[in-house]
């Protein structure tokens, strides 16, 4: 199919055919255009002899991980608990400008599990189910959960540094933007093939940046937290792509990363609730 497209781009009429005599799939061109067709195919192969992207995609693929549904249900359950508690969870878990004075560092992470209203929740869950599901499929569920949680914390830390007091922040948008950052640099896995890596990496980062502009720069949202989460995801994604394959998705290291994320969330909420009841 690639050769047929190359020929068609040069105005050479071509037909893809299957020869049962043993040749398999072939290209049929007129006798008058045979020499030009051969020359075009040779030039196409010459220009693309080091282009290894297709082979690499077959190796690590693009997979959607349905485990992201568990994350979605946790977000929904946390919002329901927050509503049922009359705002108590928001009081102890939302991001606040008082964190440096009180030392309540856990708010960097607990805030990523709270939402202002149903609309806010729906926006983050509907986007997160796509980008986080793809990130989980690409890097492994555990690594994706841990790194996007850290990216969300980085986004809240950025909000703390750039927003004037009083400041209050909450929402999983930093986590979602972190997942988008992970996807933007996923092509770094091709670093062993310099030509393919350069092309695909630049394309991936550009596409991720455009999606970030579309999804993360709404004037009605916390642009600072979104930006921090996105760039946090970019940086953490670079590190994940440098990991040896024995530590990648589906390995013991991946499961350990997922367990670390769960333990971190549990510790943060335990500290938040104990401080709230004190």
Domain boundaries, the chain: 2-49, 58-277
Query: Greatest CA span in the chain, whole angstroms?
Result: 89
- The pLDDT, as a whole number, for residue 240 is 94
What does the pLDDT average to over 129-153? 97
- The pLDDT, as a whole number, for residue 24 is 83
Strand 15-19 to 24-28 pairing = antiparallel
More confident residue, 22 or 122: 122
More confident residue, 278 or 7: 7
What does the pLDDT average to over 159-188? 91
- The pLDDT, as a whole number, for residue 55 is 45
> What confidence tens digit (pLDDT) does each residue in 63-80 have?
899 999 999 999 999 999
Domain boundaries 2-49, CATH class: alpha beta
Is pLDDT above 60 for 57? no
pLDDT above 90 covers a percentage of the chain that reads 60
pTM for the whole structure:
0.76
Is pLDDT above 80 for 265? yes
Q: Which CATH number fits domain 58-277: 3.30.70.260, 1.10.150.120, 1.10.443.10, 1.20.1540.10?
A: 1.20.1540.10
């Amino acid at each position: 199919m690639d050769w047929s497209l190359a020929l068609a781009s040069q105005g050479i009429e071509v037909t893809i055919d299957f020869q049962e005599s043993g040749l398999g799939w072939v290209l049929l061109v007129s006798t008058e255009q045979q020499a030009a067709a051969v020359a075009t195919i040779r030039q196409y192969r010459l220009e693309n002899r080091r282009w290894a992207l297709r082979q690499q995609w077959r190796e690590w693929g693009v997979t959607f991980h349905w485990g992201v549904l568990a994350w979605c249900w946790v977000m929904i359950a946390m919002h329901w608990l927050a509503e049922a508690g009359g705002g108590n969870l928001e009081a102890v878990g939302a991001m606040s400008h008082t964190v440096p004075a009180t030392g309540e560092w856990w708010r960097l992470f607990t805030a990523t599990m709270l939402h202002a209203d149903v609309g806010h929740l729906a926006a983050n869950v509907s986007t997160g189910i796509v980008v986080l599901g793809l990130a989980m499929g690409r890097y492994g569920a555990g690594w994706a959960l841990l790194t996007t949680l850290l990216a969300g914390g980085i986004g809240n830390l950025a909000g703390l540094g750039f927003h004037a007091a009083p400041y209050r922040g909450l929402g999983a948008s930093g986590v979602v933007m972190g997942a988008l950052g992970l996807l933007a640099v996923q092509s770094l896995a091709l670093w062993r093939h310099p030509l393919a890596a350069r092309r695909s990496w630049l394309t991936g980062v550009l596409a991720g940046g455009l999606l970030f502009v579309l999804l993360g720069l709404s004037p009605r949202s916390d642009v600072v937290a979104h930006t921090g989460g996105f760039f946090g995801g970019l940086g953490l994604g670079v590190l994940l792509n440098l990991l040896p394959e024995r530590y990648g998705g589906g390995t013991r290291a991946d499961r350990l990363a997922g367990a670390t994320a769960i333990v971190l969330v549990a510790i943060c909420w335990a500290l938040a609730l104990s401080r709230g009841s004190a």
